Amino acid sequence: MDIVSIAVLLFFVMDPFGNIAIYIAALKNVAPERRMRVALRELLLALVLLLLFLTFGDKILSGLGLSREATAIAGGIILFVIAMRLIFPPPQGVLGELPGGEPLLVPLATPAVAGPSALAVLLTLRSTQAAPLWELYLGVFLAWAATAAILLQASFLQRFLGARGLLAVERLTGMLLIMLSVDMLLDNLQSVLHIAP
């Protein structure tokens, strides 16, 4: 695969359009003047996670005795919990009580952008591609930059949709995320239990 193919693959796996509602929900209680700064901080943390996992992912998982399936199942469970909170938000909001009212690392950096699927793809690319490592780094950066450009527009979409539109998008996204998380769990349980799909 060339750099563009790697970037396109990772862009679709990061699913920025599917993550817009998560960003909107997570940032809706953040002061408007800080939303862009918080979103950018979370996106930069996601980039750091992606690059770290590309560089040290196999060593980290083997050092902790974790399989790729275990990581993906854990990500699916986290995604399921977030989805349930989008559909049935608790009084303190989707993410619960946050220090300073701002999300940090979860769920915007991970699992939204640097999620289990993206990390699994990075492990696969690292082990199967003969391309030099700098091409993988560049592919990750290009996919991240395109994703960031879309997600940084979340606050504009929040103003455009209004409170009722935002609520509808949150509920719909929650339902879709539940289906995705269950699918992620089933796929990885099949892999662990060696069950044919």
Confidence of residue 94 (pLDDT cuts 50, 70, 90): low
| Confidence check: pLDDT of 1 > 80 | no
pTM of the model: 0.71
Residue 88 tokens, joined: 């049935």
| Confidence check: pLDDT of 99 > 70 | no
Check residues 185 and 152 and name the one with the higher pLDDT: 152
| Confidence check: pLDDT of 185 > 90 | no
pLDDT at 169: 73
Q: How far is CA 187 from CA 31, 34, 56, 192, in A?
A: 39, 38, 25, 9
Residue 73 CA to its chain's centroid (Å): 14
Q: How far apart are CA 166 and CA 139, in angstroms?
A: 33
pLDDT at 144: 97
Per residue in 167-181, pLDDT (tens digit) is 787 788 778 778 877
Residue 131 CA to its chain's centroid (Å): 25
pLDDT at 51: 95
pLDDT at 42: 94
Q: What total of structural domains would you count in the chain?
A: 1
Q: How far apart are CA 19 and CA 17, in angstroms?
A: 5
Residues 158-173 have a mean pLDDT of 75
Contact 116, 13 (CB under 8 A): no
Per residue in 28-68, pLDDT (tens digit) is 788 888 889 999 999 999 999 999 999 998 788 788 887 77
**Quick one: 100 exposed, middle or buried, by C-beta within 10 A (0-12, 13-18, 19+)?**
exposed
Q: Which domain holds residue 109?
A: 3-193
pLDDT at 172: 81
- Three-state DSSP class for residue 195: coil
